[in-house]
Structure 1
C-alpha cells in the first residue's frame, strides 16, 4: 500500500505483503476509541487527526472527507488517515454514526534497518484510503465491543482492546487481499458543488473544474447531471441568481454592484438570467418584496417605498424573512394585490398624457411620458404610416433613437446605429464594436430610459410590450438579405443607402460565384454540420450558412440533404454517426455550439470514429471548421463576411 497510491486503485499483493511486514515489525499502541453521532446540519468539520486513525461510518449515508478527497458513503465506510490528516464528516441523511479508533506507531530504533527500509517504500500508518467492507457487521461489532471495554476500569480491558485492534487490522488486510471490497471513490460531484459554492463569484468553467478533479469535462457533466438533476453550469447559475436575489431583498445595492458581486459579467447578464430563473426582472422582484405590511392601530397599511429616483428607504423583513414570496396565505394575497396594482399603474401609463415635471425637476417615469419626451417636436408631417406583420403603425419619417431586438447588422449597413440592442446578441456580434449601442436584457424599464422614437421587433410578445413604450413595428423578414435591406431602408428613410449596398453586394456575390465555378468541380456538394451539445445536426437552406452556401453561392447539397429539406420548414435535423456517409458532401462545414462544454466530447467521439475517418471530405482535407458565431448571424455584414470566408475555404 504505497502512500501516494490513488485511493481508486486496489493494492496489489506485493504492496499488501510489505505493509503487513511493517505492521509485524512495528510497535503500535491503541490510544483511544470514540463513538460519534453526527446529526444533519452539525458536521465534524476539518478535525485534524492527532494520531493515525481508523474511522468506521455506519447508521446512515454520509460524506467523509480526508484532506481534499471527498467520499460518499451509502451505508458503511471504513477509512484510514495518518497524523495531521484533516477529517470532515457530514450526515447526508438525518444522522449517521461513527467509530474513531486512534493508534500510534513508534519510530523504529536505529538498529531495525529492515523496518526503516520498508517504511521508506510503504508506510501503512500514513496511508489515506476508504472502502466499503465486504463484512461490515464484523467491523461495527468489533469496534462497539472495543469501545465498551476500553472505558472499563481494569487493565485487562485495555489489553483486550490491543488484541482486538490487531484482529481488526488483520481483517482489513484479509478483505483487501481477497479483493472483495468496494473501494470508495472520491465523490467528484460533491467536490464540484463545494467548489462552486465557494467560488461562484469568480469565473468558473467546466473544463477548469474537470482538470482540477482529474476527470473529463464530458464525464463530469454527465455524472453531475445524473446525481443532481442539473448540469454544473445550471447549478452555478442557480447559485448566482439565488445570491443575487438575497442581495436584492436585503440591500439597496445597484444592479451593477450585485451583478459583479455574484459572478455576472454585467447587470444585463444578471437581468436576463434572473428573469429566466424567477420569471420576473430583478426590479420587479425588489419592488414586490419592498411592500410593507405593518400594523397601524387595528389594521394593516401598505407602503410602497419607491420614488422616481429609486428606493426611498432601506428594506426591512419580518422575523422569517422574504415573506412576500414564501409567507402565509394572507401575506401572499396582499402582495399579489399590490403587484397587480403596480401592473395596472404601468398599463394605465401607456395611454395617459405626459405628466408635468416633478418638484425635483425630474420627469414622470411612465412609458408614455418617456416616449413623448423622446420626440417632442413630432408633427403629422414628420410621421408616416408603415405596414408590417403586426398591422399598421404611425412611425417617424426619420427616426433618430432606434431600439431593436434583431436587424442590428441591417441597420449598421444602412448607416444607422441603434441606441439599444439585446445584450446577449450584442456581446457575441463579431463584426463591429458596440460603441454607441447600449445592451439591454428584458427589462422594459431599461428600454423606457433609452427614450426610443422607434422600436423594431421580430417577436410577437416583445412587440406587444414595446408598443406601450414607443411607435413599434413587427418585422418577420425571411426572403433573403436583399429584401431585408429594402424593407429596413424604407422604414428608416435610408432607401438610397439600401440600393447602393445591394448593387455592391450583387457584384461581390457574382465574383464569388465565378471564383467557385473556376476552382470547384461542378458536381461538388457541401454539407453543413454542427455539434450542438450532445447532438450532431445537419442544416438546410435557412441558417448557419445555409442561405449563403445553397441560395447565394448556389452550391449543391448532397441528394440526401436535399430530400431532407426541400419543401419543408425545418431548419435542421439531428443525425446519427451512421447517417453521415449518406449526408456528407465533398466539402463539410463543421461548427459547434457548446455553451456547457458538453459538445467537446461529442466532437472527439465523432472525429475518432471510423465512420468519420472514412468520409471522402475527411480523407481529402475538405472539412472546414468555423466558429459558431461566424455562421450564426444572417444580416448583410455577416452575409458578406460569410461569402468571403466560405468561398476562400471551398475554393482552396
Structure 2
C-alpha cells in the first residue's frame, strides 16, 4: 500500500480541481448498483468491467486487482477503475461484502472542446486508484442508500441514487483534498515494471499503461525514471535484450526468430540495439558465449569431488546464472570482458595480426569476409545498418541510409511526396489533412510527438519540425532531425528532406513539378488581369481580426511564391515588420483591405457587421475561403493543393 507522500504527485490540488470540473460538466449516466458477498471459495476473477466502476469492499480483508495493479483491503477500501479493466476480488478471510456502482460519462456538445482540454490533463473516468475513506462508515451508509434507491425501480428513486453518486464523488475528492487518507494505490512505476516484465514480448503503448492510472504518459515516464533510474523505453529494451541474450546462448534459433520472440520489430531492430548496448552483433555475442562455455568446461574431470551440501554452503546463485564463491560475486560484465579478450587474442594469433598497444585488433579483409560467409544474418543486418551523416542546426546526426520506420510531425506531406509512407504521424489529425494525403497515411499511426508515444513505435528515424523542446528526449530514442522549416525556402526544405531520406532524385522531381505549378499559376493570373491586384489574407471576426504577413504559411505562398501584391498598409505594418500576424480592430480593418480577401480557418466571417459589409471586396464578393485543412501546414503536398484551390477561386471571381 502507498501513503499520501508517495502519490502526492498524482493528486495535487490542481489535479483535484480539474477532476471536479470534469465531473461537474459531464453527462453522467448511472447504469447499475449491485451488492454481493464474495466468499474465498469462489473469488471473482478477471471480470472485464463493462463501464467505469466504483468498488467498495467492507467487512473483511481482501485483495482487489485491476489489470496489473493489486490493492490490499484490510477492513474498508474504495477502488475505482475504467471501462475494460480486468477486475479480480479475492477475500483473505471467509468473505467480503462488495458494493459495485456502474456508470458512464459523456461530454455535452457545447462543452466538448473545453472538456477535451481538461481530459488531456487527467481523465477521472478511467483513473485507477484505491484508498481507505476518512469516514468509512459514512461511505458505507452512502453506498447502502444508493443501493436501496436504485432498487426502488421508479424514476424518482433512480434520480435519488444518482444524487448519492455525486455525493460519493464529492466525498472522495474532499478526502483527497484534505489528505487525511490512506492510499491503497501501488506505485505506478512498480506496477508498470511488473507489466513490462510480463508483456515485453508484445507491442507496448506506454500511454495505455499510463491510462490505467489516469495520468499522462509523460508523468508516468518521470515517475518510472525517478524510481528505476532509466526511462520506460530503456527498461523495455533491456528486458527484450536480456531475453534475446538467453535465446542466443541457449537455443539454435535464428536471429530473426529470436527477434520475433522477444518483442523486437525485426532482426534489424535487434541488430541495432545490440550494436548500441553491446558494441557487437548478435552473432558475435553468440560466438563469444559459446567460447566462454568451452573455457568454463576445460579440464572438467580434474575438479575435486564434493557433496551437494558443501556446494550449497560455498556457492550461491544470483539472478540469471551469476554465482558468488565465498561471498565474492563474479559479474556478468567481468565474464563478458574476459571472453571477449580471449576471442580477440585467439583471432590475433590465428590471423597473424598484431595486437596494438591500445588493445584493439585490426583483422585483414579476408577474415571479415569469411566471417560474413559463416553468418549470413550478420551480413544482412550490417547492410541494413549502414548510415549516413546529416548536417543540421543541432549538429551532425548519423541516420540510416534507408530508413524504414519514420516518424514525422507537421511536414508529413513532404515525406509522403518523396515516396515514403511514415510509420507514425503527429499533428496530422484526421480531418485536417485527410483531403490532401489521406490515402498515403491511412495505415500510419496517429500519435502526439511526445517521447512516450514515439518510443512505442520503435522508429529508426524521427523528423521533428514542431516542438523543438522535445528534441533532446526524442534524440535518445532514435536518430532525430530537426527541420527549421520557418527559416528555409521550399526548395531548401525539400532538398534537405531528400537528403534526410536518401531521396535526392525524388526531391528534385518534386521541386520541378512544384515550380511548374507556380509558373502556370502566375501566367494564369497575368492572363486574367490579376497581376496588379492586391490581396489580404487573415482570420476575420466580429470584434477583431488577424491579418497575416509573408511569414504565415499561406502568406509565403501568396506573397513570396505566387508574388501577389499586398495592400500598402499590410506591407508596411506587417510584412516589413517581419510579423506573422497583425491584430486589427474592425474599425481599422478597411485600411488593410485589398482587392481580394482570403479568409483563413473554419470560422464564419462577420457577415452582420456594418463595417464589414462596406468593404469593397465584400460588396463585390471577392472572398476566397481557405479552411484549416489547407491553411494549417506548409508541407509541399498541402501547398500544392492550396495553389490549385486559390488559383481556381481567384480565376472564377475574376470573371
TM-score normalised over the length of structure 1: 0.48
The TM-score normalised by the length of structure 2 is: 0.48
Tell which structure's C-alpha radius of gyration is larger: 1
